[in-house]
Amino acid sequence: MKQLLAVLIMAALPLVASAAGDKPCGTIDCMKITVDATDQPSLQRGAQTFVNYCMGCHEAKFSRYGRIASDLGMPEELVMENLIFDDSKIGDLMTNGMTPADAKKWFGAGPPDLTLVARSRGNDWLYTYLLSFYTDPTRPWGVNNLVFKDVGMPHVLRELQGDTECKPAYAIAANGGVKRDPLTGIPMEDPEHACGRVENIEGTGKLNAAEYEQVVYDLTNFMAYMAEPMKEERKRLGVYVLLFLCVMFIFVYLLNREYWKDIH
Ligand code: HEC
């Protein structure tokens, strides 16, 4: 019985660890994202946004264009045309030409490699970060971020999202939901958090809020895939391994019975 208990506790440990490992998003609650590594069209759009808008500064130097092409079901010619803008070859690592010294001079902090950022920071953190840039004229790039205070990165997707304003956070009701005005049903603001929520100024960017969220979803989805390209394969293999163990168990059990049959 004790052994069984020990096994159960061991099995539950990863659950506790993953709950404790949740990254808080600065001063606000993380928005939740459910990534889907089987959604190839989303991953392809995300890859395109990544090379277009991020790789000017960031590298993904533990990833290769060719691997992404085959995992995302993209023909190599399409990748050469749409994802590679320098003289890289399909088998090359996803690097750029920015030297760390220049990066330090321009941004104060060097743009870190992004191959594994979805794992180090968490998908929810990344998603919330990309949705949390707001206009702040006191900062060198004119923007700040609710998740990453005084970030050195400009709001590179601004042409898509447009301008954003920081608004007071919504007040939280006793039941944990958003507190609403009992008469009008309009969410009430929490004056204690003068800057706790980012709101788009419609019409200042190429996309509306929903379209922008989709772009950020695809981008985060892609970065989550890039941080763990084996995930789908790992899940598929896991099923086979468990099936194998089940079948194996029958034979081992029978063998065990055979061995012990005459000993009593
Ligand atoms: C103009 C250069 C530039 C571009 C383009 C750029 N970034 Fe950044 N990024 C930076 C810099 C600089 C930092 C470091 C900020 C700091 O430490 O204050 C950074 C930091 C980050 C971080 C935080 C990493 C960490 O764990 O600390 C993430 C995530 C990130 N960038 C994602 C992106 C994504 C996604 C894109 C494309 C949509 C992008 N960046 C495009 C310059 C850039």
Predicted confidence band of residue 108 (pLDDT cuts 50, 70, 90): confident
Residue 156, domain member (yes or no): no
At residue 190, the pLDDT reads: 85
Residue nearest to atom 40 of ligand 1 (CA): 54
Residue 168, domain member (yes or no): no
Residue 157, domain member (yes or no): no
Residue 160, domain member (yes or no): no
Q: Are 53 and 232 in contact (CB under 8 A)?
A: no
Does the CB atom of residue 156 touch ligand 1 within 6 A?
A: yes
Is a pLDDT exceeding 60 seen at residue 161? yes
Please report, for the domain that includes residue 247, its CATH number. Answer: 1.10.760.10
Q: How far is the CA of 114 from the centre of ligand 1 (A)?
A: 8
Phi and psi at residue 93, to the nearest 5° = -75, 155
Q: How far is the CA of 264 from the centre of ligand 1 (A)?
A: 70
At residue 230, the pLDDT reads: 92
Residue 9, domain member (yes or no): no
The structural domain count of the chain equals 1
Residue nearest to atom 34 of ligand 1 (CA): 54
Q: In whole angstroms, how far apart are CA 82 and each of 76, 103, 156?
A: 10, 26, 19
CA–CA separation, 127 and 113 (whole Å): 17
At residue 263, the pLDDT reads: 83
CA–CA separation, 49 and 156 (whole Å): 11
Residue 142, domain member (yes or no): no
CA–CA separation, 183 and 188 (whole Å): 11
Q: Are strands 197-200 and 133-135 parallel, antiparallel or unpaired?
A: unpaired
Residue 140, domain member (yes or no): no
At residue 16, the pLDDT reads: 55
Q: What is the pLDDT of residues 4-35, one digit of tens each?
A: 677 777 776 655 555 544 448 888 889 999 99
Residue 161, domain member (yes or no): no
Does the CB atom of residue 25 touch ligand 1 within 6 A?
A: no
Tracing tokens 């989303």 back to the chain, one arrives at 42
CB burial of 93-116 (b: ≥16 within 10 Å; e: otherwise) equals: ebebebeeeebeeebeebbeebbb
**DSSP annotation string for 212-227:** HHHHHHHHHHHHHHHH
Domain, as residue range, for 39: 31-125+210-253
